[in-house]
Chain A
Amino acid sequence: MTRVRTYAAWSASRPQNAAWVDRVTRSFPPYERFRTRDSQEASLLRERGTAANLIGPARG
């Protein structure tokens, strides 16, 4: 059965989830994307000033 998530429920759980994400993230070295992206997508992100570690390697 398809679940329905209300905005109120999502907002209420947000601090707890954010705390977990933060805890995991702090236990790792600085984030770097290793998955490849399509070269056009990478280029669109570069045009928007996206940091290189979030764009990751381009393919194609």
Chain B
Amino acid sequence: MHVSQGDVDLRALAAEIQTIEQIDGLLDQMLEVAAILEEALAPLGVHPVVVGGLALAYWTPPGLYLTEDIDVVMPAIPAAEERLAKLGFVRDGRYWTLPGHDLFLEAPGSLLEPNPEGFDIVETQSGRQVRVQAPEDLFGLRFGEFVALGTPDVFQQLLWLLGSTELVPSELESRADDSSYLRQIGVSRRAYLEGLETLRTYAEKIQRGDKAPEMWEIHEMAARLQVSK
């Protein structure tokens, strides 16, 4: 039976997912699966946006520490879930796994935070396109997490993003003037700008060959920004 729905051949897309490991590298494999998802769901008006670790890996390749979970933001509608099942995904609680494969999917929400329009369209190896959270907004989200938690892993990710050629520095400054955005990430304008300046100073030091700050310095920085929050 031909399972073409709308202008999409779900059976062909499902077959492509089954051979996804033929693509070299986990990062490219995961992006391709996300792009196949976009292709399958677009006729429903559903456009998943890649967020989380995979978005971070896209903007800061090679994607060190990338794990097999693909996080996307998209509305949870029955027709979309039906298509996921036709692509070979199996629901397991709040996750969608792919039997026989390591990759799995989570759609943690339907609203892209902190900026609903904060995505770029990226092309995959095959020429497909998929939405990925913009690096400046991923930075904003991680910045809010860093101020709240003060953990060195998030601090490190912020430095990766700051030095990425894909991130437009002036776009970071422009977000400081958006009070609704700052509310979403849970920091004040002062804390955001102060943190940005401090992070840039550390990035310059690392560029010169210095070591990263000690754990206590990272905690102290977050605590200082919390006071300015």
Give me the interface of A with B, judged by CB distance under 8 Å: 2-7, 10, 13-14, 16-18, 20-21, 23-25, 27-29, 31-35, 38, 40-41, 44-45, 48, 50, 54-56
Min CB distance B22 to A, Å, is 17
Give me the interface of B with A, judged by CB distance under 8 Å: 58-62, 64-65, 67-69, 92-95, 97, 102, 104, 106, 117, 119-125, 127, 129, 134, 145, 149, 151-154, 156, 159-160, 163-166, 203, 206-207, 210-212
Contact B94 A31 (CB under 8 A): no
Contact B120 A33 (CB under 8 A): no
Kindly list the 3 A-B residue pairs having the minimum CB-CB distance in the complex, ordered from nearest.
A34-B151, A20-B163, A27-B212
Q: Which of B94, B117, B122 is within 8 Å of A40, CB to CB?
A: B94
CA distance A17 to B69 in the complex (A): 22
Contact B212 A24 (CB under 8 A): yes
Instruction: State whether A31 and B68 are in contact (beta carbons under 8 Å apart), knowing that A24-B163, A40-B95, A41-B106 are contacts in the complex.
Output: no
Q: Which of A27, A40, A48 is within 8 Å of B211, CB to CB?
A: A27
CA distance A18 to B67 in the complex (A): 17
Min CB distance B5 to A, Å, is 26
Contact B123 A25 (CB under 8 A): no
Instruction: State whether A24 and B123 are in contact (beta carbons under 8 Å apart), knowing that A17-B61, A35-B149 are contacts in the complex.
Output: no
Instruction: State whether A21 and B62 are in contact (beta carbons under 8 Å apart), knowing that A7-B127, A45-B69 are contacts in the complex.
Output: yes
Q: Which of A14, A16, A18, A28 is within 8 Å of B152, CB to CB?
A: A28
Instruction: State whether A13 and B166 are in contact (beta carbons under 8 Å apart), knowing that A5-B120, A35-B154 are contacts in the complex.
Output: yes
Contact B149 A21 (CB under 8 A): no
Contact B61 A18 (CB under 8 A): yes
CA distance A5 to B67 in the complex (A): 23
Instruction: State whether A17 and B166 are in contact (beta carbons under 8 Å apart), knowing that A10-B122, A31-B153 are contacts in the complex.
Output: yes
Contact B69 A31 (CB under 8 A): no
Min CB distance A56 to B, Å, is 8
Chain B neighbourhood of A23, CB < 8 A: 206-207
Instruction: State whether A32 and B153 are in contact (beta carbons under 8 Å apart), knowing that A14-B61, A17-B61 are contacts in the complex.
Output: yes
Q: Residue of B at shortest CB range from A32? A: B153
Contact A17 B165 (CB under 8 A): yes
Chain B neighbourhood of A13, CB < 8 A: 165-166
Contact B153 A33 (CB under 8 A): yes
CA distance A20 to B204 in the complex (A): 11
